[in-house]
Amino acid sequence: MPTATGRIDRSDSLDKITGTFTVEGVRQIFTANISESVPTFVSSNATLTYSSIDDLTGTRVFAGIIGATTVTISIGNGPTIAGDLDSSIGQAFTVNGSGNWETN
């Protein structure tokens, strides 16, 4: 399965996370509403794994864990985002919700 390296963070909104990856030369952004407020975090070396670039479109449900030192997000139609946090947030949070893919 193809992969892309990028970043995922929760930095400016208590109820949103943003993943940004370059896929086949195009910037793909996954902006997601989360069900629980989590502390600010950054994973500046996250990996997006997907089957087809067509998986990176539309609005999708997701579930995941923002751990003390890692993040793992599983998107409903198959892609995953995983990485180590740049700094520990001290505890783990289970998150779920919906997100939207866009290109930029």
Mean pLDDT on 11-27: 88
* Among 57, 75, 59, 54, residue whose Cα is nearest residue 8: 75
pLDDT band at 35 (very low <50, low <70, confident <90, very high): low
DSSP labels for 6-19?
EEEEE-S-TTEEEE
Phi first, then psi: give them for residue 53, nearest 5 degrees. -60, -25
| Overall pTM surpassing 0.85 (yes/no) | yes
CATH number of domain containing 93? 2.40.128.480
Mean pLDDT on 39-63: 96
Owning domain of residue 22: 3-103
Mean pLDDT on 7-22: 88
45 pLDDT exceeds 70? yes
84 pLDDT exceeds 70? yes
Q: Looking at the 3D structure of the chain, how many domains does it have?
A: 1
In the chain, alpha helices (H)? none
Structure tokens at 84: 């180590």
